């Protein structure tokens, strides 16, 4: 948060700086957003520091990196000054052990974003679903996730 | 792991000592098993160190404390020398923000344990489901979870 234009103008860098305050433990895990726009987000978490005894990534890190995507998309579209996102339900299907860093991406389509804006304007709250696929460094599917998020008005 | 009888004879203390090696990040979160038998497990994770920007517990800590229960029950029943447990699918329904430390318990009935033993003996692998309810310090339900775990033979 040093105000350098190159850093603050990039949504991913802004999100990562915010994450250190928003969810310190996720930042400590090395969880980082690599790309962020209103429609699409890509995040990563390293294997290093997040291994279990078997040398594979512990389940909680896979949950974390995917769960973060919905919050990042909500923040990028609607900010945190008037609204805040919360995760309502989240399912992870673990497909194979992760033995490398992993990346995960998620997208919201234009129609969904229009609906969210309309509902927030009309009722002060809304909800959306997000599916993700977590990939290892070889492009193999490590896990798939399905999340439901709510966006609420700050009181 | 100092070999003091009082510590090593208690399954919960043994599990917590093992967790530091098995999943270091969970141990760092302050996640601890409070009671452990082959049939029942209770675990806790503190709010302190696991808050988000809103002063509530971040979603990943709730996932972690509940997800650990299946592994703890599998370890207590079958050990880690011949078999190892993995989580296959896990769903969390977030009911209300946690603003205190939380506790969570899970149980396996005798018929399920008999089936697991029989299947491990016959095929070297098995699976079980576990439901949990995460409670705050006031006994309010913070989240409910449903997990599917596999137990596999070490190769």
Residue of A nearest to B150 (CA): A94
pLDDT band at B110 (very low <50, low <70, confident <90, very high): very high
Q: What is the mean pLDDT of residues B3-29?
A: 83
CB-neighbour burial class of residue A123 (10 A; exposed 0-12, middle 13-18, buried 19+) = exposed
**Start-to-end Cα distance in chain A:** 26
Q: How far apart are CA A53 and CA A48, in angstroms?
A: 12
pLDDT value for B2? 45
pLDDT value for B8? 64
pLDDT band at A8 (very low <50, low <70, confident <90, very high): low
Name the H helices within chain B. Answer: 5-8, 11-22, 24-28, 59-78, 110-123
pLDDT value for B9? 76
pLDDT value for A1? 43
Q: A-B interface: how many C-beta pairs under 8 angstroms?
A: 83
Q: What is the pTM of this model?
A: 0.93
pLDDT of A5 higher than 50? no
- Asked whether B152 and B131 are in contact (CB, 8 A), the reply is no
Average predicted confidence (pLDDT) for chain B: 94
Structure tokens of B120?
A: 């491990």
Residue A13 CB partners (closer than 8 Å, separation 6+): A7
Give chain B positions within 8 Å (CB) of A21. Answer: 53
* Predicted complex ipTM exceeds 0.90: yes
Q: Are B25 and A91 inside 8 Å of each other by CB?
A: no
Query: Which residues pair with residue A33 across a beta bridge?
Result: A43
The answer to whether residue B8 neighbours chain A at the CB level (below 8 Å) is no
- A43, A52, A134, A148: which to substitute to probe chain B, counting the most B Cβ within 10 Å? A52
Q: Are B60 and A64 inside 8 Å of each other by CB?
A: yes
- Helix (H) / strand (E) containing A48: none
pLDDT value for B53? 87
pLDDT of A75 higher than 60? yes
Locus of tokens 């203390």: B13
The DSSP symbol for B66 reads H
Q: What is the mean pLDDT of residues B2-29?
A: 82
The answer to whether residue A26 neighbours chain B at the CB level (below 8 Å) is yes
Residue of A nearest to B54 (CA): A22
Q: What is the mean pLDDT of residues A3-22?
A: 80
pLDDT value for B6? 46
Structure tokens of B4?
A: 């003091």
């Amino acid at each position: 948060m040093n105000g350098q234009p190159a850093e603050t103008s990039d949504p991913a860098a802004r999100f990562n700086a915010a994450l250190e305050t928003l969810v310190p433990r996720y930042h400590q895990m090395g969880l980082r957003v690599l790309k962020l726009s209103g429609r699409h987000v890509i995040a990563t978490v390293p294997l290093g520091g997040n291994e279990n005894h078997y040398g594979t990534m512990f389940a909680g890190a896979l949950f974390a990196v995917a769960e973060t995507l919905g919050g990042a998309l909500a923040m990028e579209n609607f900010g945190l000054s008037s609204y805040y996102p919360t995760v309502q339900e989240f399912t992870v299907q673990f497909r194979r052990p992760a033995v490398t860093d992993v990346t995960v991406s998620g997208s919201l389509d234009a129609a969904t974003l229009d609906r969210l804006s309309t509902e927030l304007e009309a009722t002060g709250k809304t909800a959306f679903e997000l599916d993700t696929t977590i990939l290892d460094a070889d492009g193999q599917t490590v896990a798939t996730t399905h999340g439901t998020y709510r966006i609420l008005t700050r009181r």
